[in-house]
Each structure stands twice: as structure tokens, then as C-alpha cells.
Amino acid sequence: MISAFFVYNGKGEVLISRLFRDGVRRNVCEVFRIQVISKCSDIKSPVLTLGSTSFLHIRHGALWIVAVTRSNVDASVVLEYLHRFVDLLKRLFGLDNVSEDDVKANFPLVYEILDESIESGHVSNMDLSTLQPFLSAQAAEPGRFKNNTASGLLAKAGSIRRKSAGKLPQIINAPLDTTAAPHPWRPQALKYKKNTVQIDVIEDFNLLTTANGFVLRSFVEGRVLMDCRLSGMPTCLFGLVHQNQSDAYQEFKSSDCTFHQCVNLKDFDEHKIIKFIPPDGKFELLSYRTDVDNPPFHVYTTREPHSGGSESSYTVDLESAYPSDVAATNVVLRIPVPQGTAKLRTNTESGKCRLVEEENVVQWSLKKVNGGQKHRLQFAVPNSRADAVAAKPPISLSFSIDSYSVGGHKVKFFKVHEPSMNYATVKSVNYLSRAKSYQIRM
Amino acid sequence: MASSNLYTRVRAAEIVNELRANEKKSRSAMFRKTTLKKIVANMTLGNNEMVGLSSEVLAITLDLATDTEVKRLAYLYFSTYYPQRPHDCVDLLPMLEKDFRSQSAVLRSLSIRALATIHIPEFLAKANVLVCEAMADKDPHVRKTGVYAVSRVYGRAPEEVRQQFLKGLNRLLHDPTVFVVAAAVDCLRDLVENHDGLQLSIDRNNCFRILELLAGCDEWSQVSLLNSVMAFVPQTEDDAVFLAEKCIPLLQHGNSSVVLNALKVIVYLSNYVRNFVDVLPAITKRVSGCISNLMSKPAEIQFLTMRNVILLLLDKAEMLDLQVSMFFCQFDDPVYIKDTKLELIFLLANESNISLVLRELEEYALEIDDQMVRKSIRAIGNLAIKIPSVADRSIEVLCGLLASSLPHIVQEVAIILKDILRKYPGKYLYLIDSLVQNVDLLTDSESRGSFIWILGEYCNSIPSSADILFKLYANFDNEPTQVQLTTLTAVVKTYLCSPSKKTESLVLDVLRRTTEEANEPDLRERAYFYWRLLSSHKDIKEIVKPVLPIIEVSSDKLPPEILEELELNIGSLASIYLRPVQQVFRLSKPKRLAVSPALARAESRASSAPFSGPASRNTSATSVYK
């Protein structure tokens, strides 16, 4: 049960303050400011309990979003709520990052959201489509469909059309019972002139290796994002397959994925079928985590003190290990160098290399790297005395690969079945792989 | 005017003047709404002058009564300042009543919410009537608001109204709309937690019915319904298995709160099944899968997840099969994540993954962050104590680290070495030599105390122990009491083991100094005690330096009753602290596993603590869920 809710800016000024229950007073916000925000440098825990009052917080940019409770509250509900709250603001304002000014400019709306999403301290309703009818304050229109012109959608549409579903078992064809199970996430009586579905498969690659290349952890966190603009109450079927090395399709690994609330979990559990009545607009259908044996890039670094003794020279080799018809863009390798390094001698045939002094890294950027290539960077920096005891941040790599799934996943089919209206749906699929936390220890 | 400008502090008098000046102008409605926003923004900033504007706010609200946004802001204003301005609130009442009769469900909800928030007698009297009506409203959203309003006004309602509320809530447990059922369950749980004499229990049919509802409702209702299953006591193993199977698919939900609550229910039910993991062999894979999913959520949720994994590892380890590498630290993890990961790495370490674990811990031990370094060295040392078969390799790593001669590494090794030597008497004495070489680095009292203790206890194995003690003794007066006590004992031990001119003079000096100059009574008493023993001229070595019992793993176990209660609170704040719930939240009611024929370990637990079953507590059970 949430007793109070606050949003602070970076300086600790209260932007939003809402009490839901007796037992706390408005000035409880001072306690959090003094105990946590002013000690910003070391946050020991997202949860602070003083007496029997607890503060749970998350950060979003410079903002602090804080829930106050007086009992042994279900922290999973509160933390999930805080994150959803930020997501909701982002969607309502149509922004990727919500700043102090956005909150100030829309504060009546923020209070309305709090009013409707928390009832007497209980989280009750958080879904934009069901929340919308209760909101009267105006916000900036969310930037839906900004990059998706109709012609673009049509061009992509061919990629996903699949053959008939005659082979699929009976259970797939039966629509979900729309009368028995209500679908609180979907508004009734939607009507679109053109029915479209945009599917984005986004995979974030995570890698952690030791200095000598031993892989400690290598996996993708994938998300399937949908933008559904479908009429009526359609039942959708979605199939994702995993394509391994030997090029044989495999059933999608099941235990490490999570679904949006609209997916019928029982069907998935028993028949491995992803079946759902989608909410309107954008949502995340599922997320998954798959271990990957072959990371897309290999990085080898050697560091030698120069013969003269005044410099250290680095050799960095970058190898791309994906098919050669695939290209990664914006490949940026950040190699930490000793603190206070001010001079850099480099030697490379490909890409650009520069020293970012304030962060103590050498940044090597390659605009485009095709699969199966090798690139080498050599550079030298002066030795420094602080070197021996300094922190050793890892080398980090960022990249993005369009139209390719590093985890080897592929959308196999997407079927829409609306019992009363018979319409054709324009479907398109995009793949995007990128690095989330790709680290090589030094 | 842009709204962000509203956040500038204004004086109440300015607002009054502005309002008056604009009264006659054409666009006054717009202007007055903006003024109201300005007042609320200032209230948020903590500008308490705004309390004086209540009559102005009231006027604006009544004037612009068609604007819902204005109403919300005004209610927010009055729910903040009603204790100071009760009379102005009373004037709102007719409008609220009118809204409650309006066609719009939004307005009806809004007025119920305002009535339940502003606790003045006139409002409460009205709320007692209207909340009951709201619970019977035709719109489910209004019914939901009505239900939640009960939890605000119940405490101040007279007894007969309370009975009505409970009757209404119990009726709504069979509402056709699932989120109303969920709200009713939520509210009942809330009342049970905050009021004495209430008890929530749920019978078999209703519990099964609720689980059927789970599939078709929104995620927050799922959380409430899952919690209501905790009030059901399975009477047979089959029931428990059936219910648990129903919850398993929810472990793959995208909402971490649904996942953790499903996990809580499964863990709860597992107590009512003998050999749960054998009955449901898939459970290990599913639970471990959901943990790895939760580990890709934001840091705060990862933290909560990991604290609960620790809890499960202490008591229900058979449900988990986790890769230790999942918990290896990232360079940019927040401190609290790193700490918890370290704890998990320690708990998950075993003979088969030890080389991976040691390599990882060694990596952390060479980091710059000295807190992290200390914790990982402590973990390496504790691993040596916990798993004897890997002791040799752990000690090797420690030895390698000592060679670095970095102060915080040496200090931490000195602290942990004491325990290692006690666990493996006669082994690993060579570590002492490396420490002796670095004795100057032991600048903090804890490590110095530990080292001095080692010098005394193992004086036979350390040839130069007397010399080192002599050197450390020079600083005796500046030491904290604990180190002084340790030094005193160490000197006496050294003297008894290798009596010589040098040790004798040392012992005499320390005894003289402590008995004559020390202010600390404990220190003086102990010195007198040794003195008398020494002057008895008997063989007192056995008394001063007895054979020590071999220590076991430091206690990472919690008592079973505490584990039991924590498992019933998976995902809660108490699960983060991993401490007895009542210790952190004094007012929370204790939770225990209810006895039933199916309870797998009823005998062992019931005997260890007096158990008060629901039957005995259930004296005036008013809200039994039937």
C-alpha cells in the first residue's frame, strides 16, 4: 500500500506530491530529501526504512520518483509501479526521456494519472488504453507512427505473408472466447480503415569476457514490439522460431521469456502457442533471454610498455563474426586509458580514433563493418604514475545491426482472426540487433 | 502562460489581487483555471501561504463546475488543507452530492474519492451512505472506487456501518467484473491488516474459482487475486499441487510483480506437498527461468529479486538451479547490486564451479573500490571455511593477493586468516609469514587486533612473534580497548609458550601498565586476573591457552520460524531486509503457515513455536469469505 508519492527534480525540489493514506504528512518529503537526495553520491539501496516509514525510489534522468509506505508493503508492486509510471509519462508526452520541465508543464495530467492509477494506496489501473477515458487534462500528442508512412509499410509487407494455417492444430483456429474473458486492456468497437501490424524484433546483446577472452556471460535480451492497428476484437497468433547454426529451425526456447498481460499463458504452457487479443497501438508482446555461443564481435587487446619506457602501446583487433551480407553500423569501441592521459599517437587504416579526455577513453568509431572482417587499431599513450592503482573499467563496444537477429530468431507467422469482420492485415517485420552491455575486461 | 512558469513561488495576496482585477474580463474562466493551477503548483512546492486561499479556490470550483480538471485540482487542494479549513469544505458538499447523481462514471468516482479523503464529520457522515451506494453502482469503475473508499473510511465509521461495508465487500467478491473482485479482496486484506478482530479466509470452491479468473484479468488484479490464494489453506496434497500448477504459467508474465507473487504462492503451496520438487519436476526449471528473466529488469527489481533468491537458497534451494555467472558483476552496476551479487556468488559456490568463482572473486579483489575488495576477500576466506575441499585453492588465491602488498588487501586477509587458522589447525601457517612481512600496513584496528591474536595463539609457529609483539606494543596506549585486551592476552600467551628475559619484561610491563594506568575496568580486571594466575606458579598454560574448538561456517542460516514468515512475504520490504518482519515493521501482524493435514512439516514447526491457528484467533470473524 502506497501512502504517499513524490517526484523530485535533481536538486530535491518537490514537483509532484500526493498523499493517499493517513499516517504520513506532507513534510515526510523533507526526510527523503535530507536522507537520500542530498547524499546522492552513494545510494546504498533503492529502499530506505526509517522507523516504520519506508521510501522506495527509482531515478529517471535527473528526476527522483519516490513512493512512501508505512507497512511491510509488496515491494514488487511498488517498484513495478514506479517504472510503469515513468513509461506511462513517456508515452503520454511522446518522449523518450521525461525531464523536469515536462512534468511541470503537465502537472495536472500527472496528478490525474496518480488519481486514477492508485486508489487509496492500491495500484489499480495502469494501462494507457483503459486510463485514457478518465484523463481530461491535455498532453502533447504521443508521436505514434512517426516514421511509418503507408508506403513504407506496404513495401515491407511482403516479407511476412505466410501460407495458410491449415496445418496448425485445431486450438489455433478457435478464437479466444471474447465473451467469457473480458479484455480490460482493449477498448471496444475499434475501427480502422486499413488494418496494419508492425512487428519489431529488437535484440540487445550482452557480453562479459575476461581479459584473455574467456566468456563469462553472453546472451541476448530480445523484445518483440508490436504496433497493432486492428479493428474489432481480433485474435492473433504469433510464431517465433530460433534458427541455430545448422540452419534448422528450432522451437523457440520457452522458459526464459515473459509475455504481455494479453497473452494467454495457459495456451503457451500447454501447446507452446502465443495467442492473444492485442491492446490497441504500441505494446511489448514478449521479451526473452537466450544464451548465445557466438558473439557478433571478437575483441583482442594487447598492451605493452614501449621499449623506451615512457609510453604504452595498445593493439586492438576487432573481428566481426556474422554473415558477410550483414553490416553493422555505428560500431564504437571505447578503450579505457590511464587517468590524465592527454596525448595519443594512433595508427589505423579503418575508422576514426580519438581521445576523450574527460572520460579517459580512446574512442574508435567505424561507420560500417561487414561480416567476416578484421580491423586493427594501434595506438600509444604516455605512461602515467597513477596507473597501478587506478580503477580498471572494461572495454566496451556498441553497435547496431539492422535487419538481423544476433540471437538467430525469426518471426515465422502472424495470423489475425477477427470472428465478425473479415479483413486483410498489412504486416511488416523489422529486426534490429544492438549492444546493450558489451564488455571486455582489461 | 506555460505551465512550468506556474512553479514560481507567489504570495497569496498577489493571487487575490490578480483575481479581483480580472473578474470582469471576458476570458476570466481561462484565467481562473490557470490561477487554480498556480495555487496547486505552489502547494506542491510547499508554499503554505496557499492555505489562505481556500475561499477563492472554492469560488473558482463552484464557478467552473463543468470542468473535471478543475475539480480534480480543487479536490487535491482541499484534501491537503481540509484540517485547516473545514468550513470551506462543507460548501463543497452539495456539488459532490450532485456529481454523485450525475450520468458520468468519472464524476461519480471522483466525488466518492473526495468524500472518502476529506475526513471532517460532515463528509464522513455522507461518505458512510454514499460509499455503500457506490459499491452497488452499475458501472464497474465506480464500484471499484467505492470498494477502495471503504479502506479509507472504515476506521472512522460506526459499528453498524462497518457491518454494512463488510457485507457489501463480501457481496462484491462475486461481482461479474474481475477487477472489482480484485479490489474487494485488496480492501479486505487491507482491513484485516489494520483492524483487530477480522480474519480473511477463503474456502476451496472460491479459491478454485478465483484461479480460473486469473487468466482473463489485468495484471494488477492478478496480483490481488494471487494474494487472496494465500488465505486458502489446502487440506490435501492434490489441491496444493493443482493450484501450484495453475500458477506456474504466470512465472512468465512480463510484470515482475505478478511473477514474484506467483512465486510466493507456489512456495507457499509447496509446504503442503511432501517432496514438492519430485511431484512437479518442471518447477526447478521454471523458477530458475523466471529468475533469469527478472535479472534483465531494471536495477531496483533485480535487487529485490536477488534478495528473494537468497531467501530461497536458504530454505528451498531444491527449487533453484541457477548459473553462478548470471550474478557476476558488471563494472557499472550500482553498489547495492554488486553487494547482493557477491552474496549470491558466495551462496552458489560449490566444488564444481569453484574455479570460475575464485577467478571472478580475485578479479573483484583487484578492483579500485576498497569496500568491494574487502568483501570479496572475505568471501574467498569464507569459501575456504565453508567448503573444505576447495580450501587449498582459495588459500592459494589469498596468498597471491597478499603478494600485491596493497594495504586494504593485507588488512582484510589478516582479519579472515584468524578464522581460517581456527578452522584448519596446523595448516596454512605459511600465510602468517607473508602477513609478518606486511605488518606495517595493518593500520586499522580490526586487522591489527586479529593479527595480534594470531601472534599470541600461534607464537610457537612464528619465530619472531615476540619481536613483532614488542614492536606493536609500542603503540599500546593509543589502541582502542578491544585491541588492548587482545594485546594483553597475546603477551601472556607468548610468555607462557616461550619464557625468556625479553618476554618476561614485556609481560611485566603490560601488567603494570594495565593495572596502574588503564581506565577501562575490563582491561584492569583481566590484567589482575592474569597476574594472580601467573603468581600462583602452577602450570596455567591450559587455562590461558586451551585447545580451541574448531569453528564452523559463519551462520548464514536464519531460524526456521523466521524463514517461514519471510517466505510468506516474498517480494515484500521484509524480504529485502531478510529480517524478522516484526523487527522492521512493529505493527504488522505475524503470518504463519496454517496447520492442515497436508502441511508437510507440521510436526517440526508446531513444536518449535507455539502456534495459534486461525480457529483460535477467529473469535469475531466478521469477513469470512464464503
Residue to test with chain A: of B72, B189, B220, most A Cβ within 10 A:
B220
Phi, psi of A363 (to 5 degrees): -110, 120
More confident residue, B550 or A441: A441
**B contact residues 466-525, partner A, Cβ 8 Å cutoff:** none
CA B95, CA B100: separation in Å to the nearest integer? 9
- pLDDT higher than 60, residue B552: yes
Give me the sheet containing A345-348, strands edge to edge. A297-305, A311-320, A374-382, A345-348
Question: What is the predicted pLDDT for the residue at A385?
Answer: 62
Q: What is the pLDDT of residue B614?
A: 35
User: DSSP string spanning A353-412?
Assistant: EEEEGGGTEEEEEEEEEETT-EEEEEEEEE--GGGGGS--PPEEEEEEEET--TT-EEEE
| Percent of chain B residues topping a pLDDT of 70 | 94
Name the band, by pLDDT with cuts 50, 70 and 90, for residue A4. very high
Contacts of B330 by beta carbon, 8 Å cutoff, 6+ apart: A208, A437, A439
Q: Is the pLDDT of residue B96 over 60?
A: yes
pLDDT the model gives residue A183: 73
Is the minimum CB–CB distance between B219 and chain A shorter than 8 Å? yes
The ipTM assigned to this model is 0.87
Burial of B34-60, coded b for 16+ CB within 10 Å and e otherwise, reads ebbbbbbbbbbbebebbeebbebbbeb
Mean pLDDT score of chain B = 84
Question: What is the greatest pairwise CA distance in chain A?
Answer: 81
Q: Touching check for B248 and chain A: CB below 8 Å? A: yes
Candidates B72, B191, B404, B562, partner chain A, best to mutate (most A CBs within 10 A)? B72
Alpha-carbon gap, residue A361 to A372, rounded angstroms: 26
Question: Could you give the C-alpha distances from A124 to A81, A114, B223, B600, in angstroms and in order?
Answer: 10, 10, 10, 36
> Does residue A407 have a pLDDT over 70?
yes
Q: pLDDT at residue B345 above 90?
A: yes
Query: If DSSP states are collapsed to H, E and C, what string results for B237-252?
Result: HHHHHHHHHHHHHHHH
- Condensed to tens digits (0 to 9), the pLDDT of residues B410-435 reads 888 888 888 888 888 778 878 887 78
Query: Residues A109-164: pLDDT tens digits?
Result: 899 889 888 988 898 877 777 777 777 766 544 333 333 333 333 333 333 333 33
Task: Out of B67, B300, B330, name the one closest to residue A437 (CB).
Answer: B330
- β-bridge mates for residue A55, sequence order: A48, A68
Tens of pLDDT, residues A181-236:
467 788 777 888 888 899 999 999 999 888 877 888 888 888 999 998 888 888 88
What pLDDT is recorded for position B601? Answer: 58
Residues A49-66: tens digit of each pLDDT: 888 899 999 999 889 999
Q: Measure Cα distances from B321 to A189, B261, B341 in Å.
A: 47, 20, 16
Residue A313's SS3 state is strand
Which of B46, B109, B257 minimises the CB distance to A80? B257
Is the pLDDT score of B365 beyond 70?
A: yes
Q: Do domains A4-134 and A297-402 have the same CATH topology?
A: no
Nearest CA in chain A to B308: A76
User: What value does the mean pLDDT take over residues B97-107?
Assistant: 88
Min mean pLDDT across A246-250, B173-177, B430-434 is at: A246-250
Torsion of CA A18, A23, A27, A32, to 10 degrees: -80
Residue B440: per-residue pLDDT: 78
Percent of chain A at pLDDT > 70 equals 83
pLDDT the model gives residue A68? 94
For residue B15, what pLDDT is reported? 85
Of B527, B457, B444, B526, residue with least CA distance to B490: B457
Locate the chain A residue with the closest alpha carbon to B75: A115
Q: According to the model, what pLDDT value does residue B147 have? A: 93
Residue A312 has pLDDT above 50, yes or no: yes
* Whether the predicted pLDDT of B587 surpasses 80: no
* Cα separation of the two ends of chain B: 57
Residue A168's pLDDT band (boundaries 50, 70, 90)?
Answer: very low
Residue B610 banded pLDDT, cuts 50, 70, 90: very low
Residue position matching grid coordinates 595493518: B442
Q: Where are the domains of chain A?
A: 4-134, 154-293+406-440, 297-402
Range name among A21-25, B155-159, B163-167, B495-499 with the lowest pLDDT average = B495-499
Give the model's pLDDT for residue A162: 32
Q: How far apart are CA B469 and CA B472, in angstroms?
A: 5
Average pLDDT for residues B384-399, to the nearest whole number? 88
pLDDT of residue B269: 92
Contact at CB, B577 and A49, closer than 8 angstroms: yes
Report whether pLDDT(B2) > 80.
Answer: no
**Residue A355, min C-alpha distance to chain B (Å):** 21
Separation between Cα atoms, residue B223 and residue B4, nearest integer Å: 37
Residue A387 pLDDT level (bands cut at 50, 70, 90): low
- Note the pLDDT of residue B301: 95
Nearest to A60 by CA among A88, A83, A81: A83
Following CA atoms B447, B450, B454, B457 in sequence, which dihedral angle do they give, to the nearest 10 degrees? 160
Interface of A with B in 290-349 (CB under 8 A): none
Per-residue pLDDT at B27: 66
Q: Residue B435: what pLDDT?
A: 81
Find all residues with CB under 8 Å of B437, minimum gap 6, and list them. none
Q: What's the gap in Å between the CA of B247 and the closest CA on chain A? A: 10
Say yes or no to pLDDT of A167 above 70.
no
Whether the pLDDT of residue A177 is over 50: the answer is: no
Q: How far is CA B105 from CA A187, A428, B99, B138, B139, in A?
A: 16, 39, 9, 9, 7
> Is the pLDDT reported for residue B605 higher than 50?
no
Backbone dihedral angles phi then psi of residue B365, each to the nearest 5 degrees: -70, -15
Helices (H), A147-257: 150-157, 170-173
pLDDT for residue A157: 37
Tell me what pLDDT residue B187 has: 92
* The three cell numbers locating residue B496: 607462557
Residue A442 pLDDT exceeds 90: no
Residues 6+ apart with CB under 8 A from B547: none
What is the model's pLDDT at position B608? 40
The Cβ-side half-sphere exposure at B223, using a 13 Å CA radius, reads 27
- Please list every residue in chain B whose beta carbon sits closer than 8 Å to the beta carbon of residue A43: 334-336
Instruction: Give bridge partners of residue A205 from the DSSP assignment.
Output: A220, A435
A303: confidence class by pLDDT, cuts 50, 70, 90: confident
In order of A91, A103, A402, the CA distances from A63 in angstroms are 17, 10, 32
Instruction: Give residue-wise pLDDT tens across range A65-91.
Output: 999 998 888 999 999 999 999 998 888
Q: What is the pLDDT of residue B464?
A: 78
Pick among 2.60.40.10, 1.10.40.30, 3.30.300.10, 2.60.40.1170: CATH of A154-293+406-440: 2.60.40.1170
Residue with the bigger pLDDT between B121 and B549: it is: B121
Cell of A283: 505494446
Q: What is the pLDDT of residue B599?
A: 80
Stretch A374-392: mean pLDDT, rounded?
A: 74
A112 and B69 in contact by Cβ < 8 A?
yes
Q: Is the pLDDT of residue B41 over 80?
A: yes
* Topology annotation, domain A4-134: Beta-Lactamase (3.30.450)
Q: CA A349, CA A361: separation in Å to the nearest integer? A: 20
Q: What is the pLDDT of residue A347?
A: 81
* Partners of residue A203 on adjacent β-strands: A222, A433
> Which grid cell sits at B317?
534451494
For the ranges A269-278, B391-400, B547-556, which has the lowest average pLDDT? B547-556
pLDDT, chain A, mean:
80
User: What pLDDT was estimated at residue A138?
Assistant: 61
Contacts with A, B 53-112, CB within 8 Å: 67-69, 72-73, 76, 79-80, 106, 109
Task: Give the pLDDT score at B421.
Answer: 85
By the 8 A CB rule, do A365 and A351 touch?
yes
At residue B241, the pLDDT reads 92
Residue of B nearest to A389 (CA): B368
A106 in contact with chain B, both atoms CB, cutoff 8 A: yes
Flag if A216 and B360 touch (Cβ within 8 Å).
Answer: yes
What is the 3-state composition of chain B as percent helix, strand, coil, each rounded to the nearest 5?
A: 70, 0, 30
For the range A130-135, what are the long-range contacts, defined as Cβ-Cβ under 8 Å and sequence gap of 24 or more?
A130/A184, A130/A185, A130/A187, A130/B218, A131/A88, A133/B106, A134/B106, A134/B109, A134/B141, A135/A109
Geometric angle at alpha carbon B246, from B244 and B249, rounded to 5°: 105
Q: Which CATH class for the A297-402 domain?
A: mainly beta
pLDDT at B607: 39
pLDDT value of residue B534: 82
Q: Which of A96-100, A173-177, B503-507 has the highest mean pLDDT?
A: A96-100
Confidence band for B17, pLDDT divided at 50, 70 and 90:
confident
